[in-house]
Amino acid sequence: MITPAIVRRNTPHRYRMEAQKCAACGKVFFPPRLVCTCGSRKFKAYALPSEGKVITHTVIRTAPRGFGDEAPYCMGIVELKDGSRVLCQIADCEPHRLKVGLQVTIEFRKIQEAGESGVIAYGYKAVPER
Amino acid sequence: MAGIVGYGAYIPRYRIKVEEIAKVWGADAPSFKKGLMLREKSVPGPDQDVITISVEAARNAMKRAGVSGAKVGAIYVGSESHPYAVKPTGTAVAEVIGAVNDCHCADLSFACKAGSEGMFLAYGLVKSGEVEYAMGIGSDTSQGAPGDALEYSAAAGGAAFLMGLKNVVAEVECQYSFMSDTPDFWRREYMHYPRHGGRFTGDMAYFKHVRGGVEGILKKAKGKPRDFKYAVFHQPNGKFPMKMAKDLGFSDEQMKTGLLVPTLGNTYSGASPLGLSAILDEAKPGDRILMCSFGSGAGSDAFIFTCTRELPKVQGKAKKTRDYLDTNPFYLDYGTYVKFRRKIRKNVED
Ligand SMILES: [Zn+2]
């Protein structure tokens, strides 16, 4: 269940795709982590680009609880212009149009709601170029 | 001189045609289309609301302005469909564009003129020197009650304007507001859909207040309708702004660029701001634009803008309003539309 604490904690990376760049070796992590593979704990905030292409994809037909109204919906790994890869939903996309190499941009969308009266979680989704 | 340094629009990709709504309610589509000058309207996707639309419009405005989000000292989002009844929309916009934490933020409402109110406040703050940059956004995903005339027009979209003093793309030459307490359209607390005063919404509300705004600003600026290359008025349908233009002495030529409503529908707080954004996409240095919003309740905010030599440099830096409106829309049937708009009563998942 989505909670106010989860929404707040995820705000930098979910809202503005803020990744972390290791100050020692330059490796980029998204979502953020505490320690780099090189052992360094020093990171700088780094904003991911918002354009990319789909490199692999699937269609979710049996959705987890809370997402049933959206099924069938598309998920994929998107390679962004700087080479970073993110896993996200591909919105505004009919399943038959999904293909490797599909050009997408990242848009800000509603991800989930904690029922009719709870908090609303927002984040990034990829959408095909119009 | 203070003015717009960056502007941006966002319109969802889904549409529904007037025929599709009319056939469900036994209404006569051709007479609706002719009477209201309305062919189709935009519909937000199931994962879109005023927060997501405001964010995308704001991002486009920031792309054009090319300034750091940290310099934005105030953000005002005007809407009548804020996702939360209590909890602001503007804070989410501020997080996304990086304006946190040094920023003043407030949500506004005044039916369809809430967007131009944000522009008015943002302009006043940068002009006074209180903040370096300030953003005004008008955005809505309003709903009409099923079967009501408003269901044919209530649409989704928004536009954002970053105001500042440096590298201004359109200077604010003059501003004027006109209002009275007029109950032409309202929504009471806890009600899903708004109500309106039927024919009362025309002469006593829209036409009186848009006329008041336009005549007031022309008097203040000592100008005439022919002084402007473009004009844009609030557009709840196609008929109202075109009749208003004719009565006030503006030509079809002046109105056509900013008139998006025939294929967009009424985006409420986003309506005249989106029209202005479409004009800015095309305007040239030296062109003058007259904008007049309208909000039920009732009032209007009028602005006169003069485009500068900076404008052509930013026009191509973000997606244009007409590209959002005209490129590859997805058409919905009425069933999918009511599902998207959550008009179907379901059992709550436990
Ligand atoms: Zn490292």
Angle between helices B90-97 and B50-65 (to 10 degrees): 40
How far apart are the C-alpha atoms of B84 and B74, rounded to whole Å?
20
Q: Across chain A, what does the average pLDDT equal? A: 95
Query: Do B216 and B72 reside in the same domain of the chain?
Result: no
Q: How far is B50 from chain A (nearest CA, A)?
A: 10
Asked, for residue B136, whether it belongs to a domain, the answer is yes
> In this predicted structure, what is the pLDDT of residue B347?
82
> In this predicted structure, what is the pLDDT of residue B350?
53
Q: Is B40 a catalytic residue?
A: no
Query: Do B133 and B266 reside in the same domain of the chain?
Result: no
The CA-CA-CA angle for residues A34, A38, A43, to 5°, reads 45
Q: Across chain B, what does the average pLDDT equal? A: 96
Which domains does chain A show, CATH number per domain? 1-48 (no CATH), 49-130 (2.40.50.840)
Q: What is the ipTM of this complex?
A: 0.95
Of B13, B92, B349, the CB nearest to A122: B92
Which uninterrupted H or E stretch holds B252?
A: helix B252-255
Query: Do B131 and B78 reside in the same domain of the chain?
Result: yes
> In this predicted structure, what is the pLDDT of residue B76?
98
Given B40, B80, B117, B151, which residue is catalytic?
B80
Query: Do B68 and B134 reside in the same domain of the chain?
Result: yes
Q: Which of residues 54-83 of B touch A (CB under 8 A)?
A: 55-56, 59, 83
Whether pLDDT at B34 is above 70: yes
Q: Is B292 a catalytic residue?
A: no
Query: Do B243 and B255 reside in the same domain of the chain?
Result: yes
Query: Do B209 and B91 reside in the same domain of the chain?
Result: no
Query: Do B64 and B32 reside in the same domain of the chain?
Result: yes
Q: How far is the CA of A20 from the centre of ligand 1 (A)?
A: 10
Cross-strand pairs, B106: B76
Q: How far is the CA of A46 from the centre of ligand 1 (A)?
A: 14
Asked, for residue B84, whether it belongs to a domain, the answer is yes
Query: Do B297 and B149 reside in the same domain of the chain?
Result: no
User: Does A64 lie at the interface with B, CB-CB under 8 angstroms?
Assistant: no
pLDDT category at B349 given cuts 50, 70, 90 is: low
User: Does B98 lie at the interface with A, CB-CB under 8 angstroms?
Assistant: yes
CATH number, residue B94 = 3.40.47.10
Asked, for residue B350, whether it belongs to a domain, the answer is no
Q: How far is the CA of A84 from the centre of ligand 1 (A)?
A: 15
pLDDT digits (tens, 9 = 90+) for B146-200: 998 899 999 999 999 999 999 999 999 999 999 999 999 889 988 888 888 877 7
Which tokens in the block code for residue B67? 């300034």
Q: Is residue B7 a contact partner of residue B280, using CB atoms and an 8 Å limit?
A: yes
Asked, for residue B346, whether it belongs to a domain, the answer is no
Asked, for residue B332, whether it belongs to a domain, the answer is yes
User: Does A125 lie at the interface with B, CB-CB under 8 angstroms?
Assistant: yes
User: Does A129 lie at the interface with B, CB-CB under 8 angstroms?
Assistant: no
Asked, for residue B348, whether it belongs to a domain, the answer is no
Domain assignment of residue B130, given as a range: 3-169+311-340
Q: Is B234 a catalytic residue?
A: yes
Query: Do B64 and B43 reside in the same domain of the chain?
Result: yes
Given B234, B292, B307, B310, which residue is catalytic?
B234
Query: Do B195 and B81 reside in the same domain of the chain?
Result: no
Query: Do B146 and B268 reside in the same domain of the chain?
Result: no
Cβ–Cβ of A69/B49 closer than 8 Å? no
pLDDT digits (tens, 9 = 90+) for A2-43: 899 999 999 999 999 999 999 999 999 998 899 999 999 999
Domain count along chain B: 2
User: Does A13 lie at the interface with B, CB-CB under 8 angstroms?
Assistant: no
pLDDT digits (tens, 9 = 90+) for B213-258: 999 999 999 999 999 999 999 999 999 999 999 999 999 999 999 9
Asked, for residue B347, whether it belongs to a domain, the answer is no
pLDDT category at B312 given cuts 50, 70, 90 is: very high
pLDDT digits (tens, 9 = 90+) for B74-99: 999 999 999 999 999 999 999 999 99
Asked, for residue B349, whether it belongs to a domain, the answer is no
Residue in B112, B215, B227 with CA at minimum distance from that of residue B159: B112
Given B103, B105, B112, B292, which residue is catalytic?
B112
Query: Do B17 and B52 reside in the same domain of the chain?
Result: yes
Residue percentage of chain B with pLDDT more than 90: 88
